[in-house]
Amino acid sequence: MKSSHGANLFEIQKEYGFNIDEIKDFSSNVNPLGPSPKAIKKLEQNLNKVGVYPDPNYDKLLSSIEKYTNVSRNKILLTSGSTNLISSFISLINPKNAIIFNPSYSEYERELKKINSNIISYDLDKSNDFSINCEKLSKMIKENDVSLVVLTNPNNPTGYAIENEKLESIIKANDCYFMIDETYVEFSDIDKYSAVKLTDKCDNLLVIRSTSKFFAAAGIRLGYGITGNKKLYDDINKHTNLWNINIFADILGSEMFTDTDYHKKVYEFVNREKTKMISTLEKIDCIKVYPSKSNFVLCEILDKRITAHELREQLIPHAFIIRDCASFNNLNEYFFRFCILDEESNNKLLKLIEEILK
């Protein structure tokens, strides 16, 4: 199985002698404006809490997520990073047959392999911008006696997102679980794409959210899940350890979900820069740029003049790291992905790509 994660900055720093702050990491899909300043201030004021146990009920944190998602706390599962919940949910369901989409985030496949599930791959079609065909998906579910469908929305690394209206009909029509990973949903139109409101109507649904990308808080390892299925909620919670969220994640989380000015600022900045970068790259003949509802963009080098690996290598001396997507199932060595960073770095990346591909 191929592994597909962003750059290990610690290794790059060691190998190339960069200071970690000098590296422009276009591979990890983290919001360049950083965490909410209000939340960071709160954290700074509370560093002395390092010796204190967090509130085992996470009352403040849950109130904050309730306000942010408009969902009541008896549907919210707290998790130490969304990867943790992906793992515990998959092992709990223990599906005999599960559908994953390719290309997609690699952890689902790893988790399903751990428990010997039969993995059925839905290979997304690049000629249709990696979109999902609902009839095809329903047919695959029925023909293969599928008990779990794992979907990322928007998808990583393609940037494609499916509308919640379409998801609603597939979820309602099929008697299997759907795990929808919404790690990147805040960069898109949430009302149109998030499946959270479907958890009221569909018992066979778990929505997973992360704070690593939009909230730029990967280091605190905080994620959450939402389900309207009481039994599923209880079964997952049963396996959750006391104090599974550390006190700093608790403090940061309690502030950042309600910092709505910051949410707006991040969304607008990323989408403005993304539009600019896409329109510049679309002018380069040898590159196909795929549409994206997230904070990253997938590109394909059409005339194969250089591989994504070679492009990445040529950018590294400038301390710019992009994602070579050759390791993703159903992509090849000519695909690369970059995320949106600060304006100056974005402009420099565009210039470098133009020069290298000239």
Ligand X SMILES: Cc1ncc(COP(=O)(O)O)c(C=O)c1O
Packing angle of the helix pair 82-93, 230-238 (nearest 10 deg) = 110
Interface stretch with ligand X, choices 13-21, 79-87, 132-140, 252-260 (CB under 6 A): 79-87
Q: Which residue among 134, 140, 202, 218 contacts ligand X (CB under 6 A)?
A: 218
Q: How far is residue 222's CA from residue 38's CA, in Å, rounded to a whole number? A: 17
Site membership for ligand X, residue 95 (CB under 6 A): no
Nearer to ligand X among residue 36 and residue 152 (C-beta): 152
Nearer to ligand X among residue 105 and residue 233 (C-beta): 105
Tell me the CA distances in angstroms from 278 to 270, 275, 346, one per residue in order: 12, 5, 11
CB of 351 to ligand X, least distance (A): 27
Interface stretch with ligand X, choices 76-84, 234-242, 321-329, 334-342 (CB under 6 A): 76-84
Q: Are strands 335-339 and 296-301 parallel, antiparallel or unpaired?
A: antiparallel
Q: Between 152 and 191, how does the x/- string for binding to ligand X read (CB under 6 A)? A: x---x------------------------x-x--------
State in Å, rounded, how far the first CA of the chain is from the last one. Answer: 35
Instruction: For the chain, give the number of residues.
Output: 358
Segment 223 to 242, residues that bind ligand X, using CB under 6 A: 223
- Hey, what are 234's tokens? 């209880």
CB of 285 to ligand X, least distance (A): 30
Site membership for ligand X, residue 286 (CB under 6 A): no
Q: How far is residue 107's CA from residue 117's CA, in Å, rounded to a whole number? A: 14
Site membership for ligand X, residue 81 (CB under 6 A): yes
Site membership for ligand X, residue 194 (CB under 6 A): no
Site membership for ligand X, residue 212 (CB under 6 A): yes
CB of 317 to ligand X, least distance (A): 25
Nearer to ligand X among residue 7 and residue 308 (C-beta): 7
The site for ligand X, by CB under 6 A, has a size of 12
Q: How far is residue 281's CA from residue 288's CA, in Å, rounded to a whole number? A: 8
Nearer to ligand X among residue 105 and residue 262 (C-beta): 105
Site membership for ligand X, residue 292 (CB under 6 A): no
Provide the 8-state DSSP code for 286: T
Site membership for ligand X, residue 210 (CB under 6 A): yes
Q: Which residues pair with 223 in a beta bridge?
A: 79, 210
Q: How many CB atoms lie within 10 A of CB 306?
A: 16
Site membership for ligand X, residue 82 (CB under 6 A): yes
Q: Cα angle at 293 between 288 and 295, to 5 degrees?
A: 85
| Ranges assigned E (strand) in the chain | 24-25, 76-79, 97-102, 118-123, 148-152, 177-181, 205-210, 223-226, 287-289, 296-301, 320-321, 323-324, 335-339
Site membership for ligand X, residue 87 (CB under 6 A): no
Interface stretch with ligand X, choices 77-85, 122-130, 297-305, 315-323 (CB under 6 A): 77-85
- Omega prior to 103 cis, within 30 of 0: yes
Q: Which amino acid is at 104?
A: S
Nearer to ligand X among residue 240 and residue 347 (C-beta): 240
Nearer to ligand X among residue 156 and residue 199 (C-beta): 156
Task: Scan for tokens 């929505």, then name that residue.
Answer: 207
Q: Which residue among 83, 227, 294, 295 contacts ligand X (CB under 6 A)?
A: 83
Closest alpha carbon to 305 in 285, 281, 322, 331:
285
Binding residues for ligand X, rule: CB under 6 A, are: 81-83, 105, 152, 156, 181, 183, 210, 212, 218, 223
